[in-house]
Amino acid sequence: MKLKSIALAAAMSALAIGAHAEGLKVGMITTLSGGGAGLGIDVRDGFMLAMKQSGRDDIEVVIEDDQRKPDIAVQLADKMIQSEKVDVLTGIIWSNLAMAVVPAATAQNKFYLSPNAGPSALAGKRCHKNYFNVAWQNDNLHEAAGAYAKGAGYKNTFILAPNYPAGKDALTGYKRMYGGDLAGETYTKLGQTDYAAEIAQIRASGADSVFFFLPGGMGIAFLKQYADSGVDLPVVGPAFSFDQGILQAVGEAALGVINTSQWNKDIDNAANSAFVDSFQAEYGRLPSLYASQGFDTANLLISAAGKADVKDQDAFRAALEAAEFDSVRGDFAFGPNHHPVQNIYVREVIKEGDVYTNKIVGTALENHADAYAGDCKM
Partner 1 sequence: MPTYLIVEQLLNGLQFGVMLFLSAAGLTLIFGVMGLINLAHGSLYMIGAFAAAAVAGATGSFVMALAASLAAAAAAGALVEILVIRRLYDRDHLDQVLATFALILIFSEGTRWMFGSFPLFLDVPSYLSGPVTLPGGIQYPLYRLTIIGIGLAIAAGLFLLIARTRIGIRIRAGEADREMIAALGVDISKLYTLVFALGAALAGLSGALVGAIQSVQVGMGEPVLILAFVVIVIGGIGSIKGALVGSLLVGLTDTFGRILLPVAFGTFMEPSAANSVGAALASMSIYLLMAVVLIVRPTGLYGRA
Partner 2 sequence: MRRETFVNIAALAALFVLPVWANATGETYWVTLTTKVVILAIAGVGLNLALGLGGLVSFGHAAFFGVGGYVMGILASHLQDYVPLLTWPFLFEGSNQMPVIWLVALVFGALTALSIGLLSLRTSGVYFIMITLAFGQMLFYFAISWPAYGGEDGLSIYVRNEFPGLNTLVPIEFYGLCLTVLVAVLFLVWRISLSSFGLALGAARQNAERLQAVGIEPFRIRLTAFVISGAITALAGAMYADLNRFVSPNMFSWQTSGEIMVFVILGGVGRLFGPVLGAALFILMEHILGGMSEFWHIYLGFVLLGVVLFARGGLMGLLAGREVSHD
Angle at 327 between CA 319 and CA 269, to 5 degrees: 145
Q: Of 53, 54, 75, 303, which one interacts with partner 2 (CB under 8 A)?
A: 75
Give which of partner 1, partner 2, none residue 197 binds (C-beta under 5 to 8 Å, depending on kind): partner 1
| # residues contacting partner 2 (CB under 8 A) | 31
Q: Of 35, 179, 206, 256, which one interacts with partner 1 (CB under 8 A)?
A: 35
64 binds partner 2 (CB under 8 A): yes
Contact positions with partner 2 (CB under 8 A) in 91-150: 95-96, 99-100, 103-104, 107, 119
User: In whole angstroms, what is the distance from residue 184 CA to residue 203 CA?
Assistant: 11
163 binds partner 1 (CB under 8 A): yes
User: In whole angstroms, what is the distance from residue 96 CA to residue 81 CA?
Assistant: 20
Query: How crowded is residue 10: how many other Cβ atoms within 10 Å of its Cβ?
Result: 10
221 binds partner 1 (CB under 8 A): yes
38 CB-near residues (< 8 Å, 6+ apart): 245, 246
**Strand, helix or coil for residue 111:** strand
Which residue type is seen at 309?
A: D
Q: Is 251 left (phi over 0), alpha (psi -120 to 50) or beta?
A: left
Options 195-203, 307-315, 331-339, 346-354: segment touching partner 1 (CB under 8 A): 195-203
Provide the minimum distance between the beta carbon of 186 and partner 1 in the complex, in angstroms, as a whole number. 6
Nearest Cα neighbor of 292 from 248, 237, 238, 330 is: 330
Give which of partner 1, partner 2, none residue 216 binds (C-beta under 5 to 8 Å, depending on kind): partner 1
Residue pair 364/147 in contact (Cβ under 8 Å)? The answer is yes
CB nearer partner 2, residue 187 or residue 266: 187
Provide the minimum distance between the beta carbon of 274 and partner 1 in the complex, in angstroms, as a whole number. 24
Tell the burial category of 145 from Cβ atoms under 10 Å away from its Cβ (0-12, 13-18, 19+): buried
Contact positions with partner 2 (CB under 8 A) in 152-171: 163-166, 168
CB nearer partner 2, residue 115 or residue 119: 119
7 alpha-carbon distance from chain centroid: 49
Give which of partner 1, partner 2, none residue 204 binds (C-beta under 5 to 8 Å, depending on kind): partner 1
Provide the minimum distance between the beta carbon of 27 and partner 1 in the complex, in angstroms, as a whole number. 22
User: In whole angstroms, what is the distance from residue 37 CA to residue 33 CA?
Assistant: 5
User: In whole angstroms, what is the distance from residue 347 CA to residue 262 CA?
Assistant: 10
Site residues (vs partner 1, CB under 8 A): 33-35, 37-38, 41, 163, 168, 185-191, 193-194, 196-198, 200-201, 203-204, 216-218, 220-221, 224-225, 228-230, 245-246, 248-253
Site residues (vs partner 2, CB under 8 A): 32-34, 37, 64-65, 69-71, 74-75, 78-79, 82-83, 95-96, 99-100, 103-104, 107, 119, 163-166, 168, 187, 189-190
